[in-house]
Structure 1
Amino acid sequence: MSTSDPILETLNLTKAFKGFVAVNGVSLKVRRGSIHALIGPNGAGKTTIFNLLTKFLPPSSGAIYFNGVDITGERPAQTARRGIVRSFQISAVFPHMTVLENVRVALQRKRGDSFHFWKPESTLVQLNERAMQLLDEVGLAAFAESLTVELPYGRKRALELATTLAMDPELMLLDEPTQGMGHEDVHRVTEMIRKVAANRTILMVEHNMSVVSSIADVITVMQRGSILAEGPYAKVSADPQVIEAYMGTGVSTALQGAH
């Protein structure tokens, strides 16, 4: 498949909850090898789309295709095995394990023996080399023996990214990767995402416009469950509809001033 093929495509994806339409006829194409950002005010439907893509919610109608295969009716585990892996908003790591142990558990899960905690230490050593490579990729090699609970917030998010990478995703869904971070951590995590995206596809929900403007190849702007605008940052930030939709939220200024 060429990079021009969409790795992920939705056709008229819709999700209604008792009369409230959270996602309304969304047709999305995510290009292989790209960083694609979903932005929009709270309640725009971004997280619901993530829940539909990972099968935590069934769609009311519409279809989802991954690598050209219709995966609409699949269960969450089937979809994850295909290589669609989501990193959650809340840090999903074991606080009282070391950083290295957390990545090793994720590698075991990928191998299918995650619950064999009684296995002798010697059988796990073979996973250490790969775990250290992943920690190096997210700038955490020096923290390998640290207890996760002792890590500052931004480093915990980096560890979460490493555990997501351990699942060997073809498509990474990042849900608010820089939420709650200070400026220094935001910059570090942004650069990390840019680095790990080198041979992967990333679909991200992100509120921070400076992050989106600096790394996203394509931006889809959502409003009330529908796509309002789509394209590179320069195009969407100048779109009158986008500016109007964000008026009064403070984001219109951010859209204009992010670069």
Structure 2
Amino acid sequence: MTEEYILETRGLTKEFRGFTAVDNINLKVREGHIHALIGPNGAGKTTVFNLLTRFLPSTRGEILFRGKPITRRKASDIARLGMVRSFQISAVFGHMTALENVRVALQRRLGTSFHFWKSERSLEPLNEQAMALLEEVGLRGYADVLTVEMPYGRKRALEVATTMALEPPLMLLDEPTQGMGAEDVDRIVELIRRVSAGRTVLMVEHNLSVVSRLCDRITVLARGSVLAEGDYESVSRDPLVREAYMGSEAVVEEGGA
């Protein structure tokens, strides 16, 4: 593996009692790119994410992060190395404010990571950094709002802020626009574009318009295997990709590009 690839898989495979959910995936994610995994429902996209972050053990294959094997590392170790993910369902603390959520993620810098029993005063030095992160994702006005009271799209933005607080060189975003209306989708697209500066993003995304607007490279999965790979224009015009998504209709028309 050359230094330009931050993440690579070799023959990554996951079997569930005879069913092959992910089949011999060879993925290369270039440093500094926004790279998308797309595919029809059941293609294996989220399973790949779970394998990469060790929420699931692989059956076969190898995962390399910055050239070093991480295939058998713990999920917590992988996060500490700098590969941090979000989830399809918002994973913030509903009965804490937006500021408190980001501050919890920042605790690692004090050597008190996720120690909820620390005094309020001990966390005050993190307020400025937390507010700066909220500003970056457009949530400064929500700093004192309980997360449970925030609109869905703003919760997803908050999740991005808490992910950024860990300063990961590689962010994995799982369906970041799922369940959103057009206005929230546009907001999240701009947010991802902004926060990708200086880091790499690997995202699972169903909205092809989002993919066409954001991504440098796209890997298309179907039935657990790689069907195609390339930039959006080449992938969207691939006959196999069109067939996998919608029969005879063009992916480029569905994506709105």
Task: Output the TM-score relative to the length of structure 2.
Answer: 0.95
Q: Distance in 2 between matches of 1:58 and 1:37?
A: 22
1:171-193 deviations in whole A, cap 9, x for unaligned? 11000000000000000001000
Q: Distance in 2 between matches of 1:112 and 1:22?
A: 39
Secondary structure in structure 1 of the residue aligned to 2:94 = coil
2:252 matched to which residue of 1? Answer: 255
Secondary structure in structure 1 of the residue aligned to 2:12 = strand
1:52 matched to which residue of 2? Answer: 51
Secondary structure in structure 2 of the residue aligned to 1:14 = strand
Q: Distance in 1 between matches of 2:58 and 2:185?
A: 33
- Flag the 1:115–1:188 CA change in 2: closer, same or farther, 3 A: closer
Q: Which amino acid aligns with 2:204?
A: V
Residue 119 of structure 1 and its aligned partner are, at CA, apart by 2.8
Question: Quick check: 1:9–1:65 contact (8 Å CA) kept in 2?
Answer: yes
Q: Which amino acid aligns with 1:255?
A: V
Residue 117 of structure 1 and its aligned partner are, at CA, apart by 3.1
Residue 115 of structure 1 and its aligned partner are, at CA, apart by 4.2
Secondary structure in structure 1 of the residue aligned to 2:197 = helix
Q: Distance in 2 between matches of 1:13 and 1:35?
A: 21
Q: Which 5+ residue runs of structure 2 have no aligned equivalent?
A: none
1:153 matched to which residue of 2? Answer: 152
Q: Distance in 1 between matches of 2:37 and 2:31?
A: 16
Q: Distance in 1 between matches of 2:156 and 2:20?
A: 32
Question: Quick check: 2:236–2:250 contact (8 Å CA) kept in 1?
Answer: no
Residue 69 of structure 1 and its aligned partner are, at CA, apart by 0.4
Q: Which amino acid aligns with 1:57?
A: L
Question: Quick check: 2:236–2:242 contact (8 Å CA) kept in 1?
Answer: yes
Question: Quick check: 1:91–1:160 contact (8 Å CA) kept in 2?
Answer: yes
Alignment: residue pair count: 256
Secondary structure in structure 2 of the residue aligned to 1:133 = helix
Residue 82 of structure 1 and its aligned partner are, at CA, apart by 0.4
Q: Which 5+ residue runs of structure 1 have no aligned equivalent?
A: none
Residue 246 of structure 1 and its aligned partner are, at CA, apart by 1.5
Q: Distance in 2 between matches of 1:138 and 1:129?
A: 15
Q: Distance in 1 between matches of 2:197 and 2:139?
A: 18
Question: Quick check: 2:245–2:251 contact (8 Å CA) kept in 1?
Answer: no
**Aligned-residue RMSD, C-alpha:** 1.7
Q: How does 1:30-41 map to 2 (within 5 A)?
A: 30-41=29-40
Which range is displaced more, 114-123 or 83-92? 114-123
Q: Distance in 1 between matches of 2:109 and 2:182?
A: 33
1:99-151 deviations in whole A, cap 9, x for unaligned? 10010011114654234333332221110111011101100011111111111
1:42-74 deviations in whole A, cap 9, x for unaligned? 111111100100011111111000000011111
Residue 167 of structure 1 and its aligned partner are, at CA, apart by 1.2
Question: Quick check: 1:110–1:166 contact (8 Å CA) kept in 2?
Answer: no
Q: Which amino acid aligns with 1:256?
A: E
Which range is displaced more, 227-236 or 106-115? 106-115
Question: Quick check: 1:85–1:169 contact (8 Å CA) kept in 2?
Answer: yes
Q: Distance in 2 between matches of 1:110 and 1:224?
A: 42
Q: How does 1:154-169 map to 2 (within 5 A)?
A: 154-169=153-168
Q: Distance in 1 between matches of 2:22 and 2:7?
A: 17
1:153-175 deviations in whole A, cap 9, x for unaligned? 10011001111111111111000
Q: Please state if 1:97 is matched with 2:96.
A: yes
2:143 matched to which residue of 1? Answer: 144
Residue 233 of structure 1 and its aligned partner are, at CA, apart by 0.3
Question: Quick check: 1:194–1:215 contact (8 Å CA) kept in 2?
Answer: yes
Question: Quick check: 2:237–2:251 contact (8 Å CA) kept in 1?
Answer: no
Q: Which amino acid aligns with 1:51?
A: N
Q: Please state if 1:68 is matched with 2:79.
A: no
2:181 matched to which residue of 1? Answer: 182
Secondary structure in structure 1 of the residue aligned to 2:116 = coil
Task: Output the TM-score relative to the length of structure 1.
Answer: 0.94
Residue 77 of structure 1 and its aligned partner are, at CA, apart by 1.1
